Amino acid sequence: MKGYCTAADVRNALAPLDQQDDAGTAARLADQQINDGIEEAEGVVDNYISTRYSVTIVQVSVVLDPNFPNTLTTINVASAPIRFITRDIAAYLLALTSSKGRNMTEDDPVRLRYGVALGLLVNIRDGRADLDETVFPPVSEASDVEVVNLYEPAMFSPADVGLWPGGYSPQVNIPYRSW
């Protein structure tokens, strides 16, 4: 897992803090399942933006426990908007897992967030939207690629396949007394 977002980010997107243990939401899933959803979402994000940008992980200070709002904790995550796009995709994937195949309604907030996140990724991939290059360094151009041929001499000559300067030589291909 690269750490684009945290399990707490995903749980907060799935349910309010006071309803995360409710059996009706994916927020109740174990950390291992949440982290698996995040890893899958990171793969989706990378698939869309890796041709244009590199994602760097930064340190941010957040309040992890709402009972202690003055206590800040430093975590490592991707900068916005990648952090929140990853969160919304992971929340959608986990909601699908948690619902066990039941359909989501068209106005389900998790589904709506997923649609917005995917739309942003498509716009970034297609160049209709850009990320801050000071935070997300652009990927180097293909002109930086160099092909090196390590074998210098010719591998085969015309004589190897029975071709001579005068043309085709049937004696080369027909063994003696083969008729």
Say whether both 79 and 166 belong to one domain: no
Say whether both 85 and 164 belong to one domain: no
Residue 1 lies in a domain: no
Say whether both 118 and 150 belong to one domain: no
Backbone angles phi, psi at 31, to 5 degrees: -55, -40
Say whether both 54 and 21 belong to one domain: yes
Q: Say what the pLDDT of residue 49 is.
A: 94
pTM > 0.75:
no
Asked if 62 contacts 72 with a C-beta cutoff of 8 angstroms, the reply is: yes
Say whether both 99 and 162 belong to one domain: no
Say whether both 126 and 169 belong to one domain: no
Give me the domain span that covers residue 43.
7-143
Q: How far apart are CA 147 and CA 149, in angstroms?
A: 7
Residue 152 lies in a domain: yes
Tens-digit pLDDT profile for residues 72-83: 888 899 999 999
Tens-digit pLDDT profile for residues 15-37: 876 666 665 678 888 899 999 99
Say whether both 111 and 163 belong to one domain: no
Helix spans in the chain (H): 7-14, 31-49, 82-99, 109-125, 170-173
Residue 164 lies in a domain: yes
Say whether both 104 and 17 belong to one domain: yes
Say whether both 138 and 91 belong to one domain: yes
Residue 178 lies in a domain: no
- Regions of the chain where pLDDT drops below 50: none
Q: Is the peptide bond before 170 cis (omega within 30 degrees of 0)?
A: no
Amino acid at 108: D
Residue 2 lies in a domain: no
Q: Cα–Cα distances in Å, from 166 out to 46, 159, 176?
A: 58, 11, 21
Q: How far apart are CA 84 and CA 114, in angstroms?
A: 10
Residue 67 lies in a domain: yes
Say whether both 66 and 127 belong to one domain: yes
Say whether both 149 and 114 belong to one domain: no
Q: Say what the pLDDT of residue 121 is.
A: 96
Number of domains observed in the structure of the chain:
2
Nearest to 139 by CA among 4, 39, 46: 46
Say whether both 137 and 155 belong to one domain: no
Backbone angles phi, psi at 104, to 5 degrees: -90, 145
